[in-house]
Amino acid sequence: MSGAETRTGVTGDTPLTYAQLLEANNAIQLIGDETYWLCVTRTVQGSKLFPVSAYILLSYANCFYRYPEVLRKIEKSMRAEDLADRCRGIGMKIQAATMGWCLPAFYLLGREWLLSLGMLRPQDAAEDIAYVMDFWRRFQLGWHRNNGHINNSAYGHRSQILPNRRLEVFKADMYPCQPGEPLHEATLSFLATVSQYAFLTACECRLNTANTGPYKLDDDQEMLVRDFMDMGESSLPWLDGVTADVTYNNLTVTMAARGCHFNILDDWGSFESTPEFRGEMLSGVGLYTSDLLTDGHVPVGMGSAEELTATLNKISEELKVAMNKLWLRMADWSRDQLMDAGALMYYASIKDIAHVAGAFEVADWLEIDPRAERLRPILNDEYADMALGELVGYLTLPNQVTSPFEMMKHSNKPQRVLTPLPLSILAGEEYVPSVGPIQPGTTTLDPKNDRYNTTRGTLTLAEYNQAVRDYTPESLTPKYRFLCETWVKYNAHTELANELYKIDQRNSRTLKGRGTGKGPV
Amino acid sequence: MKLYVDNDRYGEAPQFALVEAVHNSVRDLVRRKLKESGDDWASFVFGSADKLITKAEFEAIDAKIVATGHRYSFTSMASVRDRPDIYKPAPDTTTNADTFCFEHPEAVTGPPDAEGRALCGVGDNVSRRPTNIRGIARYIRSSEQVIYYMKNGMPENTVAIIDDSGGTLTAPICEKFHAVICAGGTVRSHLGILTREYGIPCLMNARITGIYEGDEVEIETTAPAKTAEAYQTGQDMPAYIWRIAK
C-alpha cells in the first residue's frame, strides 16, 4: 500500500482530523518563519534581464493549482519517503532548496497571494494543503534520516545528510591543494564558472546549485559537498541545443576548506562561514557525476591531480561556450518567454521527483496552468516587485496581519507569512477540499526536444522513464536499504556491513574493496 | 456582497498604493463574478470561477490603471522594450555615457583628501581584502552593452558599475571585471555570491553619486564584510567609495 493511499486528501473519502490539521499548521508555521528569515537575511532579488518578481508570482500561482495533483500522481509510483531515500545519495536536483523549501513555500505563498486577492478563503483546498504538507514532512524526514531533523533550519542551519561510508570515500579520494598550485587555481576558476552558469541556466535563481554539509575532516578542515545540476540537455527546454556539447548534466564537487567554519548552510543550500570563506582557504577537491542511473557518485577525472586539473579546465571551457550561447538566446527572448522560463524554473524546481518515480511528463511540468496564466496581465514589474515585497518581506498583506498581542519569530511584529488552516472546519464550517485536476496549460517557449542527458548517454523521455523504473541501486535493495547509521555503529564487524561499505567503495581510487576496516586498503 | 476575507479583524490595506489598487480591483472582480454566477462560494471558487474570471478580466484591470496615466516602473529591460506603452521610458544607456551618473539621495560625499580621493558613496563589502582596489569606472546596464564587451573585449581594470544585483545580465563578461560596484542587492544577492566565487572585489547596495564613465575610483575592500546579523538588525557596515582627482 502506498503512503498516499493511507492519507486523507488523496481520495477525499475520509474527513480531515484534528491531528492532521495540527500537523499541517505546524508545517505551515515552520515554513513561514524560515521563509521570512531567508528572504530578509539572505538576498534581494533583482535582474535587468529577467522580470524576476513577476515570474515568481506567476510560478507561485502555478504551484498552488498544480502541485497537489502532480504529487499525488507521483505517489502512485513511489511514496514521498521512498523518493527521499532514492535520491539522497546522488547529486541531482532534489535538494534542501527544492524539496525542503521550494515545494512547500511556493505552494503556500501562491495560496497566500490568492488569499490577498480575495480569490480564496483560508479553508479552501484544505485537503490539498494538508496533503502537500504531509508529503513534504514525509519526504523531509526521509531525506534527513541520518540526522533526524526536518530541515536545515531545524538543524541550526546545517545539512549533514550523507552516511559515513560515502564520506569516507569522499575524504580519502579528495586531492589536497594549496594556493599557487594548478589544481587549486583550476578548482576556483571552475567553481566560479559553474556557479555563474548555474544562475543563468536557472533564469536568475540559485536552484541549479546546492551545498550540503559541512562535514568535519580534521581539527582544521571542513568539507562541503557542492552540487551543480541540470547543466546539459535536461528537462529544462531552454537548454536544448545550446548545451548539446556539455558532457555532464550533474556534477558534484567535494570541497575541503582550511581555517574556516561553515556556520550556516541554509534551506536554500547556500553557505556562510566564520571567518568568511576565501579562495586561499580551499584545501582539497574531488569531482563526481551522478544521476538516477548511477549507484551513487561516479568519479570524474579523478585518476590523478593532473588529470583532475585538466578535467576541471576542460569543463570550465565547455560551460563558458554554452553560457554565451544560452545568454544570447535569452537576451533575444520576449518578456513573456522570460516570464515563462522563470516561472517554470520555479514551478518545476521539484520536477526531478517525477523523474525518480519514472513518471515525468512534459505537460505536467513545463506548462502554465490557465488558472495561473489568467493573472499574467497584472504582473507588471512594479506591481510584482511591490506585491512580492509585501508577501515575503514586509508581511503587510491583510491576511498576514495577526492579533496585536502576537510577536512573530524573527521580527516580533504581529504578522505571519502564511495563514494556517482554520480548525473551524472540524466544527462544521464548510470548506472546499481541492483545487481539482490540473488543466491543459500553455507556454510561449519552444517545445522540449526529446533529449535527456544521462550517464547512459542521451535518452528519449520514454527511454529515460523506463530506465529509471528498471533500475534500483544495490544500496537501496531491501537487503541494504534500512541498514542505517545506528545499525552500522553496532554491527561494523559483520560481513553484511562490510558488503554495504564495499558498494560505496566500488569507484574509489583509494578504498575500493576495503569494507568497514579503518585506514588505507 | 462581501467576500469571506473582507471580514478581517486585524488586516489593514497593503503597504503600497499600487498593490492596494490592484487587489481592490481583483476583489471587486471576484464579487461581481460570484454574483453573476448565481453559485454559492463552494461551487464558485474552483468551479464556475475558472470560466468566469478570465485573463481578459485581468487585462481590463491593468488597462484601467494605465488609463489613469500611471506608467509602471520597470526592472527588466524586456518589460519596457515589449510594452513601452505601459512603462516609464527606459534611460538611454548608450548615448549619454559622458553625462550620466548614479545619483543616490543617501550617498555620503566629501571633499578630496590629501591623496586626492573624494568620497562619493558607500556600499556593503562582499569579502574583506588586505588592500583597497582602484580601477576605471564603466557603467554596464543593458544587454546591448554586454554584447558590445563580448565582441570587443572588456578593458583591463574595469570597475563595473551595475544596477542589477542578479547574476545573469553580465554573465558572459563578469569574470573579466576588476571590481564591481552594484547599486542594489545585498552581499547575499546573486551578484554578491558570484563575485565572491570569482574572487572579484565587490560592494553591493552601493549608494553613490558623481561617478562618471571613465573616472578612476577606489573602493574600500579592506572594510569588514557585511554579516547576516547586520542585515537582520539593520546595522550599517559601510565600505567607502572614492573618486580619484584627475
Question: What number is the average pLDDT over the span A160-165?
Answer: 96
Same domain, A185 and A326: yes
Cα separations in angstroms, A355 against A73, A135, A348, A362, B47: 12, 17, 12, 11, 31
Same domain, A104 and A94: yes
Q: Pick from B172, B164, B177, B175: which is nearest to B133 by CA? A: B177
The pTM score is 0.94
Residue A22, chain B, CB below 8 Å: the answer is no
User: pLDDT digit string (tens) for A134-147?
Assistant: 999 999 999 999 99
In a domain, A493, yes or no: yes
DSSP A100: I
pLDDT, residue A5, reads: 43
Same domain, A324 and A341: no
Question: What number is the average pLDDT over the span B182-205?
Answer: 92
For residue A439, the chain B residues in CB contact (below 8 A) are: 50
Least confident of A496-510, B82-96, B104-118: B82-96
Cα A290 from Cα A227, distance rounded (Å): 10
Element (H, E) at A60: helix A52-75
For residue B26, the chain A residues in CB contact (below 8 A) are: 117-119, 378
> What are the residues facing B87 on neighbouring strands?
B72
For residue A109, pLDDT beyond 50: yes
Answer yes or no: are the C-beta atoms of B165 and B187 closer than 8 Å: no
How do strand B238-244 and strand B158-162 relate by DSSP bridges?
unpaired
Nearest Cα of chain B lies from the Cα of A410 at a distance, in angstroms, of 9
For residue A431, the chain B residues in CB contact (below 8 A) are: 42
pLDDT, residue A15, reads: 87
| Domains of chain A: total | 3
> For A274, which residue in chain B has the nearest alpha carbon?
B227
Q: Pick from A467, A456, A88, A443: which is nearest to A236 by CA? A: A443
Question: What number is the average pLDDT over the span B198-216?
Answer: 95
The CATH code for residues B117-244 is 3.50.30.10
Cα separations in angstroms, A442 against A366, A439, B50: 8, 10, 16
pLDDT, residue A7, reads: 47
CB contact under 8 A, A376 and B175: no
For residue B23, the chain A residues in CB contact (below 8 A) are: 116-118, 397
For residue B57, the chain A residues in CB contact (below 8 A) are: 374
For residue B225, the chain A residues in CB contact (below 8 A) are: 276
Answer yes or no: are the C-beta atoms of A143 and A100 closer than 8 Å: yes
Residue A410, chain B, CB below 8 Å: the answer is yes
Q: What letters, b where the CB count within 10 A reaches 16 and e where it falls short, cover B74-92?
A: bbbbbbbebbeebbeeeee
pLDDT, residue A197, reads: 96
pLDDT, residue B97, reads: 66
Q: Counting beta carbons within 10 angstroms of the beta carbon of residue B176, is it exposed (0 to 12), middle (13 to 18) or buried (19 or more)?
A: middle
For residue A42, the chain B residues in CB contact (below 8 A) are: 188, 228
pLDDT, residue A519, reads: 66
Same domain, A401 and A481: no
In a domain, A1, yes or no: no
Place of cell 541520518: A146
Q: Which residues does B89 contact at the CB level (< 8 Å), separation at least 6?
A: B80
Residue A15, chain B, CB below 8 Å: the answer is no
E-state strands within A112-155:
none
In a domain, A143, yes or no: yes
DSSP A429: -
Across the interface, which of A45, A338, A380 has its CB nearest the CB of B78? A338
Answer yes or no: are the C-beta atoms of A213 and A224 closer than 8 Å: yes
Task: Name the band, by pLDDT with cuts 50, 70 and 90, for residue A521.
Answer: low
Interface of B with A in 129-168 (CB under 8 A): 141-143, 146-147, 150, 163-168
Interface of B with A in 16-45 (CB under 8 A): 16, 18-19, 22-23, 26-27, 30-31, 41-42, 45
Task: Name the band, by pLDDT with cuts 50, 70 and 90, for residue A11.
Answer: very low
Answer yes or no: are the C-beta atoms of A116 and A398 closer than 8 Å: yes
Nearest Cα of chain A lies from the Cα of B203 at a distance, in angstroms, of 14
Interface of B with A in 66-125 (CB under 8 A): 72-79, 81-83, 86-87
pLDDT, residue A6, reads: 44
Answer yes or no: are the C-beta atoms of B186 and A43 closer than 8 Å: yes
Task: Name the band, by pLDDT with cuts 50, 70 and 90, for residue A45.
Answer: low
Same domain, A205 and A273: yes
For residue A44, pLDDT beyond 70: no
Cα separations in angstroms, B41 against A128, A218, B51, B62: 18, 62, 14, 26
Same domain, A304 and A453: yes
Answer yes or no: are the C-beta atoms of B208 and B120 closer than 8 Å: yes
Q: What letters, b where the CB count within 10 A reaches 16 and e where it falls short, cover A171-202?
A: bbbbbebeeeeebbbbbbbbbbbbbbbbbbbb
pLDDT, residue A4, reads: 41
In a domain, A10, yes or no: no
For residue B125, pLDDT beyond 50: yes
For residue A338, the chain B residues in CB contact (below 8 A) are: 76, 78
Answer yes or no: are the C-beta atoms of A286 and A159 closer than 8 Å: no
pLDDT, residue A3, reads: 39
pLDDT, residue B171, reads: 92
User: pLDDT digit string (tens) for A341-380?
Assistant: 999 999 999 999 999 999 999 999 999 999 999 999 999 9
User: pLDDT digit string (tens) for A288-321?
Assistant: 999 999 999 999 999 999 999 999 999 999 999 9
For residue A214, pLDDT beyond 60: yes
For residue A373, the chain B residues in CB contact (below 8 A) are: 55
Cα A55 from Cα A52, distance rounded (Å): 5
Cα A293 from Cα A316, distance rounded (Å): 24
**What is the longest distance spanned by two Cα atoms in chain A?**
71
User: pLDDT digit string (tens) for A50-74?
Assistant: 999 999 999 999 999 999 999 999 9
For residue A230, pLDDT beyond 70: yes
* Domains of chain B by residue range: 4-70, 117-244
Question: What number is the average pLDDT over the span A17-32?
Answer: 97
CB contact under 8 A, A199 and B167: yes
In a domain, A217, yes or no: yes
**What is the longest distance spanned by two Cα atoms in chain B?**
78
Cα B7 from Cα B203, distance rounded (Å): 46
For residue A324, the chain B residues in CB contact (below 8 A) are: 150, 172
Residue A185, chain B, CB below 8 Å: the answer is no
In a domain, A466, yes or no: no
Cα A155 from Cα A136, distance rounded (Å): 17
Same domain, A230 and A288: yes
In a domain, A328, yes or no: yes
CB contact under 8 A, B82 and A334: yes
Phi, psi of A26 (to 5 degrees): -65, -45
Place of cell 571542513: A222
pLDDT, residue A276, reads: 84
E-state strands within chain B:
117-125, 133-139, 158-162, 179-182, 202-208, 216-219, 238-244
Cα B195 from Cα B176, distance rounded (Å): 11
- Provide the grid cell at B5: 476575507
In a domain, A273, yes or no: yes
Indicate the residue type of A426: L
> For B166, which residue in chain A has the nearest alpha carbon?
A47
Question: What number is the average pLDDT over the span B212-229?
Answer: 93
Interface of B with A in 184-213 (CB under 8 A): 184-186, 188-190, 193-194, 196-199, 205
Q: Helix A52-75 crosses helix A126-143 at what angle (to 10 degrees)? A: 80
Same domain, A283 and A339: no
Place of cell 488543466: A439
Q: Pick from B188, B245, B187, B185: which is nearest to B218 by CA? A: B245
For residue B87, the chain A residues in CB contact (below 8 A) are: 380-381
Task: Name the band, by pLDDT with cuts 50, 70 and 90, for residue A9.
Answer: very low
User: pLDDT digit string (tens) for A392-417?
Assistant: 999 999 999 999 999 999 999 999 99
Task: Supply the range of the domain harboring residue A138.
Answer: 16-155+334-427
State which of A38-52, A246-260, B134-148 shows the largest mean pLDDT: A246-260
Residue A125, chain B, CB below 8 Å: the answer is yes
CB contact under 8 A, B189 and A44: yes
Same domain, A201 and A89: no
Q: Pick from A257, A255, A252: which is nearest to A299 by CA? A: A252
For residue A238, pLDDT beyond 50: yes
Same domain, A350 and A401: yes
For residue B17, pLDDT beyond 50: yes
pLDDT, residue A12, reads: 53
pLDDT, residue A8, reads: 44
Question: What number is the average pLDDT over the span A204-213?
Answer: 94
Q: Pick from A327, A336, A330, A329: which is nearest to A443 by CA? A: A336
Nearest Cα of chain B lies from the Cα of A477 at a distance, in angstroms, of 39
Question: What number is the average pLDDT over the span A461-486?
Answer: 97
